[in-house]
Amino acid sequence: MNARKSPGRPRNPAVGGRIAAAAVEVFARQGWAGFSIDAVARAAGVGKASIYLRWADKESLLTEAMAGVFAPIAEIDTGSLRGDLEQLALLLLDVYSDGVRGTAARRIVVESEVIETVRGYWQRVRADQIRATRAIVRRGVERGEIDGGAPIALMLDTLCGAAMLHPVAAPADRPTDNRRHARALVDFVLGRSAPRRAQE
């Protein structure tokens, strides 16, 4: 899944970022059936050689590009459980409410289950995401912010699932304040009253 590395002139990281963004866009628009190195190269405005210098095949390109969408999860560490959970919820709400990234994120969950060549790649990415999110709650336990017997998996399933589904279920004519909604989700998960918090 890692980008290729070879000797020679250092690569421009901006080009790699542009290719990854184009890969997410092509996948969001066309799904796996329309995803190809040619299509990504056209969307990124680069030659195919620029892609093959960095990725061995379209499976690793897509998976690494999609992993980058969720990469900030591993960087969350505000020093408090509430702060970390609010950042996690906000990140997911922002991703899934974004037209391109949200569509691509939902596609990869579904299509990775039926595309043999992508499944293994994405399972490893998901394992990394799960470890990063569980580390958030474990730090809270270590700081004494939450009981060690708390149902960590259920808490995270509730928070992440709600953040993923909200942009789909919310009425289109009522834009959501993602930051405020993230706080409300965390209030709910931690067993507090979202309406009371909203009035603070």
Rounded mean pLDDT of the chain? 89
Given this model, what pLDDT does residue 170 score? 83
Given this model, what pLDDT does residue 198 score? 40
How do residues 161-186 score in pLDDT, each as one tens digit? 999 999 888 877 778 899 999 999 99
- Determine the average pLDDT of the residues in 61-83: 96
CA–CA gap between residue 20 and residue 58 (Å, rounded): 11
CB atoms within 10 A of CB 194: 15
- Determine the average pLDDT of the residues in 77-90: 97
The model's confidence at residue 3, banded by pLDDT at 50, 70 and 90, is low
Q: What is the pTM of this model?
A: 0.85
Dihedral Cα 150, 155, 156, 159, nearest 10 deg = -150
